[in-house]
Amino acid sequence: MPEPVRYCRRVRDGESTEQPRRSPPLPALTEPDIVARLRAAGCVFAEDEARMLVAAAPTPADLAAMVERRTGGLPLEYVIGWAEFCGLRVAVDEGVFVPRHRTEFLVDRAMALLRPGAVVLDVCCGTGAIGAALVAAIPRIQLHATDISDAAVLCARRNLAHLGARVYHGDLYTALPAPLCGAVDVMVANVPYVPSADVEMLPREARIYEAREALDGGTDGLDVLRRLAAEAVVWLAPSGHLLVETTERQAQTAVAIFSHDGLIPHVERSDELEATVIVGTRPAAPTRSAV
């Protein structure tokens, strides 16, 4: 709340005037002050967050405002405007899904399948973090990305435009250009996979501030995965791969979905990141026998 303006009375040539006299500015927040406030607000990594806030704030007034927003519950990434992902600084706009470190396992598995010049499609791209990490690691890949969210598409374009990527606004495949049909070497997707009944049990930062459409995967959490897998073989090149992040609990159902839709599935797991990725491969095109 702004400091009240106090007035003093001055007499000049027999006339009275009211002149504002403002209280002296509050002292700038120190890093220990910020750590204490963050701890009181329940921030687990208060020291790390305090350093990031201090580094991001242009002025002491900006710093005070940013600390206020963070202690009020706004995710740190929205406060400072970026998230660290695979060693990159990725811009994050409010309301857009914040990239999680466990998704770095999805990037790692995709990198193992990519070659320079490959065609890559990032579906439900959010900030575009996955695609940006792949471009940074694999030279000359042709990156395409798509998302249903207006805010996500704008954010992804900020992160990917300078990399030569194309970002489309649409529901899964609906906005993609026809030439991509049958041409995608690797498709990556961090689709919403939280069961609807579990959304209310998510951490407050995600539940309140991130778009529900980026979290809610339907009754069993796999509704979007089903829709994605149903058309994957149309867009993948022969021997192309679809990689989707999910949970260990959902893995076997996801495997069955992939198999039903013509993909050869297998499960990849990282205990360190507590991450599960389903990889589905489109069978190679049959070769013609010599006549």
Contact predicate 180/144, CB 8 Å: yes
> What is the spatial distance between Cα 229 and Cα 224, in angstroms, rounded to a whole number?
9
Does residue 287 sit in helix, strand or coil? coil
Handedness of CA 186, 189, 148, 231 (dihedral sign): positive
Domains annotated for the chain, with CATH where assigned, are 24-73 (no CATH), 95-281 (3.40.50.150)
Helix, strand, coil percent content, the chain, rounded in steps of 5: 40, 25, 35
Contact predicate 91/169, CB 8 Å: no
Provide the pLDDT for residue 21.
55
The DSSP element (H or E) to which 241 belongs, if any, is strand 236-246
Return the structure tokens found at 223.
């509704």
163-182 residue pLDDT tens: 999 999 999 999 999 999 99
9-50 residue pLDDT tens: 444 455 545 555 554 454 678 899 999 999 999 999 999 999
57-114 residue pLDDT tens: 999 999 999 999 999 999 999 999 999 999 999 999 999 999 999 999 999 999 999 9
Provide the pLDDT for residue 29.
84
Residue 53 CB partners (closer than 8 Å, separation 6+) = 34, 63, 66, 67, 70, 76, 79, 80
